[in-house]
């Protein structure tokens, strides 16, 4: 019995201690002109969908839930934000090279078609972030149009690496 009490006392102290190790909040300010809407015509609806359903992990302005203050939950959320932003940051989209922009449009279409995004664990709590079938279609169609217009402006080998190039998967 005594050991059980000692165990819980230690666990409690450890849990208290980790509360002080907090990831920095994701609220950086990109220079104006870096966002996706600076480089591409984003219709209001599409931007709204991105803001509502994707920006928490793919932009510089995460809206944090209260439980982000509780560790280790905050660390876990932070890992999604870091991982998400590394792959796709709407607030930096205009600074990407054309090949990366093109590739990300393709990825967005793929992720939505396969219902991979937004992350399931996120939707479980943020039910409003789920895309309606219409919203999904709208974003997919728009992303496809952006790919078409990029192909009209750039030679194709500046948008897609040839398939034998080992870097082509990313
Ligand atoms: C809860 C956080 C979260 C939300 C919300 C979210 N994502 Fe992601 N997203 C991630 C993470 C984490 C990764 C990186 C996954 C990996 O590396 O495998 C990612 C990766 C991606 C990628 C790159 C996939 C690839 O092929 O590597 C795309 C495209 C993407 N997300 C699109 C979206 C879109 C579009 C939305 C909104 C409809 C969205 N995401 C919402 C966390 C999120």
Burial class (CB in 10 A: 0-12, 13-18, 19+), 167: exposed
Residue nearest to atom 19 of ligand 1 (CA): 84
CB of 118 sitting under 6 A from ligand 1: yes
| Phi/psi at 148 (5° precision) | -60, -45
Burial class (CB in 10 A: 0-12, 13-18, 19+), 154: middle
How much distance in Å is there from the Cα of 32 to the middle of ligand 1?
A: 23
Q: Is the pLDDT of residue 29 over 80?
A: no
Average pLDDT over residues 86-115: 97
Residue, of 164 and 138, whose pLDDT is higher: 138
To which residue do tokens 């030679």 refer? 155
For a pLDDT cut of 90, what percent of the chain falls above it?
Answer: 80
For 32-43, how does the pLDDT look when each residue is reduced to its tens digit (9 = 90+)?
A: 789 999 999 999
User: Radius of gyration of the chain from Cα atoms?
Assistant: 20
Q: Is the pLDDT of residue 167 over 80?
A: no
CB of 41 sitting under 6 A from ligand 1: no
């Amino acid at each position: 019995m005594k050991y059980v009490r000692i165990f819980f006392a230690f666990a409690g102290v450890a849990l208290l201690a980790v509360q002080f190790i907090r990831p920095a909040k994701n609220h950086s300010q990109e220079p104006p002109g870096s966002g996706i809407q600076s480089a591409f015509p984003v219709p209001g609806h599409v931007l709204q969908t991105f803001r509502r359903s994707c920006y928490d992990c793919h932009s510089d302005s995460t809206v944090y839930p209260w439980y982000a203050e509780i560790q280790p939950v905050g660390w876990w959320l932070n890992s999604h934000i870091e991982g998400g932003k590394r792959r796709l940051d709407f607030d930096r989209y205009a600074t990407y090279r054309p090949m990366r922009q093109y590739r990300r449009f393709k990825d967005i279409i793929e992720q939505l078609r396969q219902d991979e995004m937004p992350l399931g664990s996120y939707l479980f709590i943020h039910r409003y972030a789920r895309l309606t079938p219409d919203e999904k279609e709208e974003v997919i169609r728009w992303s496809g149009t952006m790919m078409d217009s990029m192909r009209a402006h750039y030679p194709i080998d500046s948008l897609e690496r040839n398939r034998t190039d080992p870097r082509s998967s990313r």
